[in-house]
Amino acid sequence: MEAIETGIKDYLKLRNPKNVVDKIVEFIKEQFEKRNANGVICGLSGGIDSALVAFLLGRALPKEKILTLFMGERDTHPDSLKHARLVAETLGVELREINITGILRSIGVYSLEPSPLFIPRKFQERYTINKYLSNQDEKETSFLKSLKGGAGSIEIMKGNAYLHTKHRIRAVLLYFYGEQKNYIVAGCCNKTEKLTGYFVKYGDSASDFDPIADLYKTQVRELGEFLGVPREIIEKPPSPDLAPGITDEFALQMPYEKIDIILYALEHNLESELKNEGISEKEIEYIKTLKELSSHMRELPPHPEIKN
């Protein structure tokens, strides 16, 4: 993937990573005390976002007050558990491993997307990628259509239910185990995900506080390097790990570096600079559309105003 040379890219770089860490650590401590919590619980997926959150929690709290959960299932990549264990062992925090395959099967999730038995994962990945591509066209990506509720496609509607339920079950388990110990739930969504809708409403967005929600994805990587998150986690392609072969950048159909530049420019009224740096109008409009379609995901449910 070619690097994008633009002044906006420089704006995104963290000027002082230590100050950012200190601010987030103080925020975690404040939330912990404000809620009168006995501890904090978070999911460890094996990816960079949850790894960074765990490292930040480790800076803010004693390790015995941190509980992490790895909630794998039928479609989880084998490396994910290895990387979750690596983070937990590095920090010395408790990791509980819970297989949610049975729960998902019992409510019919896998009936929406049966997996061929005894087929090597690389062939499953190829099948999933081809199916994903078949649902999009020149005008709209499959992800954009998913934000439209499927845009009339039964396959995408079923896919939404199939993928989103996995994260919602994980949210249930985080609160189930957390509330038994009066532990509050730390979220692991970053700013790029929040602004583009690349998260699951009432799924991975369900939390009591969001330590990295004001960091773009590229800044998450940068802070992860600063804090010493294992290199193999930082360097692997980010993925929601919900379906074989589907990485974040494949689903979004755009590299995070470019997405972050566009998002930053839109936030700081620098859109004219995007055009000067070779980012197309089509790409800008695509990110604008993702922001607009996902706006409801960042808000509380609407309600009528009753004035008596």
Q: Look-up: residue for tokens 């249930």?
A: 172
Average pLDDT of the chain is: 95
Q: Look-up: residue for tokens 């019919």?
A: 108
Could you give the 3-state DSSP secondary structure of residue 306? Answer: coil
Q: How many residues does the chain have?
A: 308
The tens digit of pLDDT for each residue in 268-287 reads 999 999 987 789 999 999 99
Hey, which bits of 9-78 come out as E strands? Answer: 39-43, 66-70
* Residue 1 confidence class, pLDDT cut points 50, 70, 90: very low
Residue 46, annotated ligand binder?
yes
Residue 227, annotated ligand binder?
no
Q: What is the C-alpha to C-alpha distance for residues 210 and 45, in angstroms, rounded to an integer?
A: 16
Residue 217, annotated ligand binder?
yes
Residue 193, annotated ligand binder?
yes
Indicate whether 3 pLDDT > 50. no
Q: Look-up: residue for tokens 């409510």?
A: 107
* Residue 170 confidence class, pLDDT cut points 50, 70, 90: very high
The tens digit of pLDDT for each residue in 192-246 reads 999 999 999 999 999 999 999 999 999 999 999 999 999 999 999 999 999 999 9
pTM over 0.85: yes
Residue 26, annotated ligand binder?
no
Residue 124, classified by CB atoms within 10 Å of its CB into exposed (0-12), middle (13-18) or buried (19+), is middle
Position 92 scores a pLDDT of 99
Indicate whether 2 pLDDT > 90. no
Q: Nearest 5°: phi and psi at 43?
A: -80, 140
Indicate whether 288 pLDDT > 70. yes
The tens digit of pLDDT for each residue in 94-145 reads 999 999 999 999 999 999 988 766 688 888 899 899 999 999 998 999 999 9
Contact 59, 90 (CB under 8 A): no
Indicate whether 146 pLDDT > 90. yes
Indicate whether 6 pLDDT > 60. no
Alpha-helical regions (H) of the chain: 7-12, 17-34, 48-60, 78-91, 101-106, 121-134, 142-147, 154-180, 191-196, 217-227, 231-235, 248-252, 256-267, 271-276, 281-293
Indicate whether 151 pLDDT > 80. yes
Residue 91, annotated ligand binder?
no
Residue 134, annotated ligand binder?
no
Position 276 scores a pLDDT of 78
Position 278 scores a pLDDT of 80
Residue 72, annotated ligand binder?
no
CATH superfamily membership of 7-298: HUPs (3.40.50.620)
Q: What is the C-alpha to C-alpha distance for residues 39 and 65, in angstroms, rounded to an integer?
A: 4
Residue 201, annotated ligand binder?
yes
Q: What is the C-alpha to C-alpha distance for residues 302 and 308, in angstroms, rounded to an integer?
A: 19
Q: What is the C-alpha to C-alpha distance for residues 77 and 88, in angstroms, rounded to an integer?
A: 18
The tens digit of pLDDT for each residue in 53-105 reads 999 999 999 999 999 999 999 999 999 999 999 999 999 999 999 999 999 99
Position 18 scores a pLDDT of 99
Position 117 scores a pLDDT of 62
Cα distances from 239 to residues 32, 153, 243, 247, 270, in angstroms, run 29, 24, 9, 4, 29
Q: Nearest 5°: phi and psi at 40?
A: -130, 140
Position 20 scores a pLDDT of 99
Position 24 scores a pLDDT of 99
More confident residue, 1 or 5: 5
Position 116 scores a pLDDT of 63
Residue 82, annotated ligand binder?
no
